[in-house]
Amino acid sequence: MSGTFVGMPAFPEAARAALGDTQLRHNLAHATATIRDRRARVVAEVPAWEELRLVGAAVKESALVDLERHLLRLEETLTANGAVVHWAGDAAEANAIVARIARGHGVDEVVKVKSMATQEIGLNEALAEQGIAAWETDLAELIVQLGNDLPSHILVPAIHRNRAEIREIFRDRMGEVGRAAPEDLSDEPAMLAGAARLHLREKFLRAKVAVSGANFAVAETGTLVVVESEGNGRMCLTLPEVLISVVGIEKVVPTWAGLDPLLRLLPRSSTGERMNPYTSTWSGVTPGDGPQEVHVVLLDNGRTRALADDVGRQALRCIRCSACLNVCPVYERVGGHAYGSVYPGPIGAILNPLMRGVGSDAQVDSLPYASSLCGACFEVCPVRIDIPQVLVHLRSRVVDGHRGDPVPKAEAVAMRATAWAFTDARRLALAERASSMAGRVLSRLGRSTLPGGRATAGRLPGASAWTNARDLPAPPRESFRAWWRRTDGGRGQDRS
């Protein structure tokens, strides 16, 4: 099973550890640059792109401001279409519902299509506790799951792994959980994908129960939509007898016509394609075609908390395209893991505090500082979420929440310094020169060790990342990922 993010160190520490991991930084820089270029090319092809963004934002906003009505309508239409609707207030309730349905069918395994909602609620772990194996079928998720690892990017969750590592993971682990990788497996991407195809086909053909999320849920028609590339989604949505979809309540789209701008915006913003290879829509049960028992679990888990924040509400418009990640200078350097959440990058920096609540822990409170406020995320966001505005708003809430503290919160101070250093190159140069001073500031804040048992670097993360390898601190005794595996994501390591 993949790990969860529980006990993840707060952003400044995690970011510094990640910055020392050159493989991760290299892969991320390559990935984000490539996807950025692809996106720019296909967006430039649409003359009315800005208008389309306005409409996309309006569709999602119209659903949010009248959410109760649309949710009730969705429940009604889904039910009329033969689906069973469940409501889950939090992760535990959602997991219990899915487990109960799966157990009711006497299965000890389910196939899964990549879904951030199920990752958010830790469904795989919850099912494992009930003796039910949840097989991830998305290639990247499979790599993450077999590697007993965590996803680092919304769109390409295994971007921190290179092909040689993937080959090792497949060779070592596939045989333990099903059809083994071929003996002569090379590290050619086509060969690796072929091995995944064979390994998973066996699971698809015998699976009785599938679990999915949904990109959109149309209230007017009771239709769920899954957008994907590989066809594993189609397999999960078509082959099993029972389909359970876990859907955040913010996924509601009021009308069928409202899908239009969103289906035009998402693929271009996300993978930089005019359209993704496969989009499936289904409205409950279709006699004689596909699953004949269809469940939809409507999930809150903090979404209503975000909804109550007048400035932050717009974050719920997010269609998870990951464009904001790919333009973010902070994300590109520290990677997804440093955010300590299934939602990384600029959107994660606002969504996590909004959903979990400012003041819930140091990790959450440090996130609004994981940004330079450069504004690139807002410019690319297909549904016009003003992330910098929400960040500033959340920072003031974090500060308000800590007003009574006798000394400033370490994370807050450190991240303010980082954010400041990221704002432009001139300041970075200054930061570099001032780094010994910054180091003294940081060590005064009482950080003695980093994850992996490394002593504090004594440098601003921004400075060392931007001034190339010569300035990097001596390699840690243990890489971030090695530390992660050893301590089970920090849970096994005492942190004060």
Site for another protein in 62-81 (CB under 8 A): 62-69, 71-72, 81
**CB of residue 25 to another protein, shortest distance in Å:** 14
**CB of residue 260 to another protein, shortest distance in Å:** 4
Which range touches another protein (CB under 8 A), out of 87-95, 100-108, 338-346, 422-430? 87-95
CA 112 – CA 52 distance, rounded (Å) = 32
| Of the residues 120, 300, 332, 365, which one makes contact with another protein according to CB under 8 A | 300
Rule CB under 6 A: say whether 383 interacts with ligand SF4: yes
**CB of residue 69 to another protein, shortest distance in Å:** 7
Give the neighbor-by-neighbor strand order of the sheet with 242-248: 83-88, 293-299, 242-248, 209-212, 109-112, 133-136
Rule CB under 8 A: say whether 283 interacts with another protein: yes
Which range touches ligand SF4 (CB under 6 A), out of 95-103, 381-389, 392-400, 435-443? 381-389
DSSP state of 454: P
Q: Is 261 helix (H, G, I), strand (E, B) or coil?
A: helix
Which range touches another protein (CB under 8 A), out of 10-18, 275-283, 361-369, 488-496? 275-283
- Measured in whole angstroms, how far is the alpha carbon of residue 379 from the centre of its chain? 20
Number of residues that bind ligand SF4 (CB under 6 A): 14
**CB of residue 62 to another protein, shortest distance in Å:** 3
Rule CB under 8 A: say whether 23 interacts with another protein: no
Closer to ligand SF4 by Cβ: residue 140 or 380? 380
Residue 322 binds which one of another protein, ligand SF4, none, with CB within 5 to 8 A depending on kind?
Answer: ligand SF4
DSSP state of 456: P
Rule CB under 8 A: say whether 186 interacts with another protein: no
Residue 324 binds which one of another protein, ligand SF4, none, with CB within 5 to 8 A depending on kind?
Answer: ligand SF4
Rule CB under 8 A: say whether 249 interacts with another protein: yes
Residue 209 binds which one of another protein, ligand SF4, none, with CB within 5 to 8 A depending on kind?
Answer: none
| Of the residues 102, 321, 370, 431, which one makes contact with ligand SF4 according to CB under 6 A | 321
* Helices then strands, each counted (H, E), the chain: 24, 10
Rule CB under 8 A: say whether 327 interacts with another protein: no
Rule CB under 8 A: say whether 138 interacts with another protein: yes
List phi, psi (to 5°) of 244. Answer: -115, 120
Q: Find the helix or strand (DSSP H, E) in which 70 lies.
A: helix 67-80
Residue 307 binds which one of ligand SF4, another protein, none, with CB within 5 to 8 A depending on kind?
Answer: another protein
CA 28 – CA 12 distance, rounded (Å) = 18
Beta carbons of 397 and 390 less than 8 angstroms apart: no
Task: Count CB-CB contacts under 10 A for residue 179.
Answer: 14
DSSP state of 475: P
| Of the residues 382, 451, 461, 462, which one makes contact with ligand SF4 according to CB under 6 A | 382
Task: Count CB-CB contacts under 10 A for residue 454.
Answer: 19
Rule CB under 6 A: say whether 323 interacts with ligand SF4: yes
Residues pairing with 455 in the sheet: 449
Q: Compute the radius of gyration of the chain from its Cα atoms.
A: 22
Which range touches another protein (CB under 8 A), out of 2-10, 25-33, 333-341, 447-455? 25-33
Q: What separation, in Å, do the N-terminal and C-terminal C-alpha atoms of the chain show?
A: 28
Rule CB under 6 A: say whether 25 interacts with ligand SF4: no
Quickly list DSSP for 260-318.
Answer: HHHHHHHHHHHTS-SS-SEEEEE-S-BTTBS-SEEEEEEE-TTHHHHHT-TTGGGGGG-
Rule CB under 8 A: say whether 205 interacts with another protein: yes
Among residue numbers 331 through 370, which ones bind ligand SF4 (CB under 6 A)?
347
Number of residues that bind another protein (CB under 8 A): 95
List phi, psi (to 5°) of 226. Answer: -125, 125
CA 117 – CA 410 distance, rounded (Å) = 31
Q: Note the helical H segments in 258-344.
A: 259-270, 303-307, 323-326, 329-334
Among residue numbers 219 through 238, which ones bind another protein (CB under 8 A)?
221, 223, 229-232, 234-235, 237-238
List phi, psi (to 5°) of 109. Answer: -155, 155
- What residues line the site for ligand SF4 (CB under 6 A)? 269, 318-324, 347, 380-383, 385
